Amino acid sequence: DSGVTQTPKHLITATGQRVTLRCSPRSGDLSVYWYQQSLDQGLQFLIQYYNGEERAKGNILERFSAQQFPDLHSELNLSSLELGDSALYFCASSPPPLRANTEAFFGQGTRLTVV
Protein backbone atom coordinates (compact mmCIF):
# COMPACT_ATOMS: atom_id res chain seq x y z
CA ASP A 1 0.00 0.00 0.00
CA SER A 2 1.59 3.24 -1.22
CA GLY A 3 -0.59 5.47 0.93
CA VAL A 4 -2.07 7.22 -2.12
CA THR A 5 -5.82 6.65 -2.35
CA GLN A 6 -7.82 6.94 -5.55
CA THR A 7 -11.57 6.75 -5.81
CA PRO A 8 -13.54 5.28 -7.35
CA LYS A 9 -11.65 2.14 -8.39
CA HIS A 10 -13.95 1.53 -11.32
CA LEU A 11 -16.25 3.84 -13.24
CA ILE A 12 -18.51 3.10 -16.18
CA THR A 13 -20.21 5.98 -17.93
CA ALA A 14 -21.68 6.94 -21.28
CA THR A 15 -20.22 9.08 -24.03
CA GLY A 16 -20.83 12.77 -23.56
CA GLN A 17 -20.92 12.54 -19.79
CA ARG A 18 -18.69 14.16 -17.20
CA VAL A 19 -16.88 12.39 -14.35
CA THR A 20 -14.64 13.36 -11.46
CA LEU A 21 -11.76 11.23 -10.25
CA ARG A 22 -10.39 11.82 -6.79
CA CYS A 23 -6.91 11.42 -5.35
CA SER A 24 -5.83 11.66 -1.72
CA PRO A 25 -2.05 11.96 -1.50
CA ARG A 26 0.12 10.42 1.20
CA SER A 27 0.15 12.31 4.46
CA GLY A 28 2.55 15.23 4.19
CA ASP A 29 2.95 15.06 0.41
CA LEU A 30 2.40 18.35 -1.39
CA SER A 31 2.88 17.26 -5.01
CA VAL A 32 0.21 15.42 -6.98
CA TYR A 33 0.65 14.04 -10.49
CA TRP A 34 -2.01 12.66 -12.84
CA TYR A 35 -1.43 10.08 -15.58
CA GLN A 36 -3.53 8.36 -18.20
CA GLN A 37 -2.80 4.82 -19.38
CA SER A 38 -4.84 3.49 -22.27
CA LEU A 39 -5.02 -0.24 -22.98
CA ASP A 40 -1.52 -1.68 -23.51
CA GLN A 41 -0.11 1.84 -23.73
CA GLY A 42 2.44 3.68 -21.66
CA LEU A 43 1.76 6.21 -18.96
CA GLN A 44 0.93 9.64 -20.35
CA PHE A 45 1.68 12.50 -18.01
CA LEU A 46 -1.29 14.85 -17.73
CA ILE A 47 -0.64 17.45 -15.06
CA GLN A 48 1.19 18.17 -11.78
CA TYR A 49 0.18 20.30 -8.80
CA TYR A 50 2.27 21.42 -5.87
CA ASN A 51 0.59 22.81 -2.77
CA GLY A 52 -2.46 23.88 -4.70
CA GLU A 53 -0.73 25.40 -7.69
CA GLU A 54 -0.26 23.95 -11.15
CA ARG A 55 3.41 23.14 -11.76
CA ALA A 56 3.61 21.27 -15.03
CA LYS A 57 1.28 20.33 -17.83
CA GLY A 58 1.60 17.38 -20.16
CA ASN A 59 -0.70 15.96 -22.79
CA ILE A 60 -3.92 16.98 -21.11
CA LEU A 61 -6.92 17.56 -23.35
CA GLU A 62 -8.94 20.76 -23.07
CA ARG A 63 -11.93 18.62 -22.06
CA PHE A 64 -9.96 17.59 -18.97
CA SER A 65 -9.21 19.77 -15.99
CA ALA A 66 -7.77 19.26 -12.55
CA GLN A 67 -7.27 21.06 -9.29
CA GLN A 68 -5.67 20.56 -5.92
CA PHE A 69 -7.62 21.70 -2.91
CA PRO A 70 -6.39 23.30 0.35
CA ASP A 71 -6.52 19.91 2.09
CA LEU A 72 -4.18 18.72 -0.72
CA HIS A 73 -6.51 16.20 -2.27
CA SER A 74 -6.85 16.51 -6.01
CA GLU A 75 -9.61 15.95 -8.53
CA LEU A 76 -9.39 15.24 -12.23
CA ASN A 77 -12.48 16.26 -14.18
CA LEU A 78 -13.16 14.64 -17.52
CA SER A 79 -15.99 16.05 -19.61
CA SER A 80 -17.67 15.35 -22.96
CA LEU A 81 -16.34 11.84 -22.63
CA GLU A 82 -15.45 9.85 -25.72
CA LEU A 83 -14.85 6.12 -26.16
CA GLY A 84 -11.13 6.83 -26.47
CA ASP A 85 -11.03 8.25 -22.96
CA SER A 86 -11.45 4.74 -21.60
CA ALA A 87 -8.25 4.13 -19.67
CA LEU A 88 -6.60 3.70 -16.31
CA TYR A 89 -6.02 7.01 -14.58
CA PHE A 90 -3.25 7.09 -11.99
CA CYS A 91 -2.42 9.63 -9.38
CA ALA A 92 0.97 9.91 -7.68
CA SER A 93 2.21 12.06 -4.83
CA SER A 94 5.60 13.12 -3.52
CA PRO A 95 6.76 14.99 -0.43
CA PRO A 96 8.28 18.43 -0.21
CA PRO A 97 10.53 20.05 -1.17
CA LEU A 98 9.88 20.35 -4.86
CA ARG A 99 13.07 18.63 -5.95
CA ALA A 100 13.87 15.86 -8.34
CA ASN A 101 15.34 13.61 -5.68
CA THR A 102 12.09 12.96 -3.85
CA GLU A 103 10.43 9.79 -5.02
CA ALA A 104 6.78 9.74 -6.05
CA PHE A 105 4.35 7.02 -5.02
CA PHE A 106 1.42 5.89 -7.10
CA GLY A 107 -2.12 4.96 -6.24
CA GLN A 108 -3.81 1.89 -7.64
CA GLY A 109 -5.68 3.84 -10.26
CA THR A 110 -9.23 4.42 -11.44
CA ARG A 111 -10.36 2.32 -14.37
CA LEU A 112 -12.70 4.42 -16.51
CA THR A 113 -14.84 2.73 -19.13
CA VAL A 114 -16.81 4.91 -21.53
CA VAL A 115 -19.61 3.08 -23.35
Partner 1 sequence: DAKTTQPPSMDCAEGRAANLPCNHSTISGNEYVYWYRQIHSQGPQYIIHGLKNNETNEMASLIITEDRKSSTLILPHATLRDTAVYYCIVRSQTNNDMRFGAGTRLTVKP
**Binding site residues, partner 1, CB under 8 A:** 2, 4, 31, 33, 35, 37, 42-45, 48, 55-56, 58, 88, 90, 92, 98-101, 103-109, 111
Residue 83 or 100: the one with the smaller Cβ distance to partner 1 is 100
Q: How far is the CB of 3 from partner 1 (least distance, A)?
A: 11
Eight-class DSSP state of 72: S
- 62: burial class by Cβ within 10 Å (0-12, 13-18, 19+)? exposed
Q: How far is the CB of 14 from partner 1 (least distance, A)?
A: 23
Q: How far is the CB of 20 from partner 1 (least distance, A)?
A: 19
Residue 79 or 88: the one with the smaller Cβ distance to partner 1 is 88
Q: For strand 64-68 and strand 53-57, is the pairing parallel, antiparallel, or unpaired?
A: unpaired
User: How far does Cα 32 stand from its chain's mean position?
Assistant: 8
Q: For strand 10-13 and strand 110-114, is the pairing parallel, antiparallel, or unpaired?
A: parallel
